[in-house]
Amino acid sequence: MAGKLAVIAIGGNSLIKHRSRQTVADQYRAICETIRHLVDLVEHGYQLVITHGNGPQVGFIMLRSEIARKEIGLHIVPLSSCVADTQGAIGLQIQQALTDELEKRGRTAKAVTIVTQVEVDPNDPGFARPDKPIGEFYTKEQLPILKKQHPEWILHKDANRGYRRVVASPQPQKIVEQEAIDALLADGFQVIAAGGGGVPVVRSEAGLTSVDAVIDKDKTAALLATNLGAPLLVISTAVEQVMLNYGTAKEKALGRVGLREIEDYFLEGHFAPGSMGPKIEAAISFLKNGGKKVIITNPENIGAALAHGRGTQIFR
């Protein structure tokens, strides 16, 4: 599929604005604010495919699961189920906010959420080096019990705050529901898909099996945009522009930049692995595989990025 299509990856700041505002109602208000800016893309003639983060929300589910285990012995919710749960819950909020905003602007209000599986390679090196922390902190005294209850868990010490479970973060290989996404777009829907990077699955002779891992949502968004032949990938984040030498006296904002230049900056180590790094990796992958433009900016500047060149714009 090609044409005037934009794939948008919404960052966590679009869902939770502050630690004091984390309720479901708070998150919906934040989503409504973000969606108003995203519909500016529709005003520019784009059809939307929206992906989203889910880190804090998965953490909430896991914490509730742990409390239920401690209090009444209820089973632990698998990580893959947590990702699927958040795809449904967050997707519903985006779907409702998007439908309402489109109706307010007199536009066709067709929006739908797809619970999306993403295939990963069972031999991905990420499985050999799990390093993505998830869930709550545990004390040293809790380790023997946890290892007995969950022998498959890997627990690492985390910044002197205790121990946390770590899981693999493999590379996305294939979007299982790609044909469904294609069909919905062809029918005129705005589509919410691959939330949280997708539910990671591996394929064997027995079929698809969910695995406890976390796929980077921006990398999945880049894969989805490539598959769709979308000309535009928008990565919504907390800052208006990508910075070089971030947090130093030599800090410099990037405006319009070419693919080769951003690759050089990436190799020089300007972008932190846990924050801007995966976004830049996703941008490079998308552009190398046929994409035309990547915009990285905060939600309130998305419309201005299209109309006036705001934010960071990376071109092939």
Tens-place pLDDT, residues 202-243: 999 989 999 989 999 999 999 999 999 999 999 999 889 999
Q: Regarding predicted confidence, which is higher, 16 or 187?
A: 187
Q: Residue 228: give the domain boundaries.
A: 5-119+175-315
Residue 297's domain is classified under what CATH number?
3.40.1160.10
Q: What is the CA 164 to chain-centroid distance, rounded?
A: 21
Percent above pLDDT 90 for the chain = 65
Q: How many CB atoms lie within 10 A of CB 93?
A: 21
When pLDDT is averaged across residues 130-150 and rounded to a whole number, the result is 82
- Report yes or no on 301 lying in a domain: yes
Q: Is the pTM of this model over 0.85?
A: yes
CB 112 within 8 A of CB 98: no
- Report yes or no on 148 lying in a domain: no
Token readout for 159 is 């910044």
- Report yes or no on 163 lying in a domain: no
What's the confidence (pLDDT) of residue 10?
94
- Report yes or no on 297 lying in a domain: yes
- Report yes or no on 167 lying in a domain: no
Q: Regarding predicted confidence, which is higher, 133 or 52?
A: 52
Q: Regarding predicted confidence, which is higher, 130 or 112?
A: 112
CB 27 within 8 A of CB 293: no
Token readout for 55 is 């880190």
- Reference 110, options 202, 226, 4, 192; nearest CA is 192
- Report yes or no on 114 lying in a domain: yes
Torsion angles phi and psi, residue 12, rounded to 5? -60, -25
Starting at the edge strand found earlier in the chain, the sheet holding 154-157 runs 132-138, 163-167, 154-157
What's the confidence (pLDDT) of residue 136?
66
Token readout for 197 is 């990077």
Number of domains observed in the structure of the chain: 1
Give the integer Cα–Cα distance in Å for 129 and 152.
14
Give catalytic residues, as residue numbers: 12-13, 132, 217, 279
One-letter amino acid identity for 108? Answer: T
* Residue 134 banded pLDDT, cuts 50, 70, 90: confident
In the chain, what is the straight-line distance between the N-terminal and C-terminal CA atoms, in Å? Answer: 19
What's the confidence (pLDDT) of residue 248?
85
- pLDDT tens across 68-105, in order? 988 998 998 999 999 999 999 999 999 999 999 999 99
- Report yes or no on 53 lying in a domain: yes
What's the confidence (pLDDT) of residue 247?
78
Write the DSSP symbol of residue 160.
T
What 3-state class would DSSP assign to 271?
coil
* Residue 2 banded pLDDT, cuts 50, 70, 90: very low
Query: Which stretch of 157-171, 180-194, 298-312 has the lowest confidence by average pLDDT?
Result: 157-171
- Report yes or no on 135 lying in a domain: no
Pairing of strands 132-138, 163-167: antiparallel
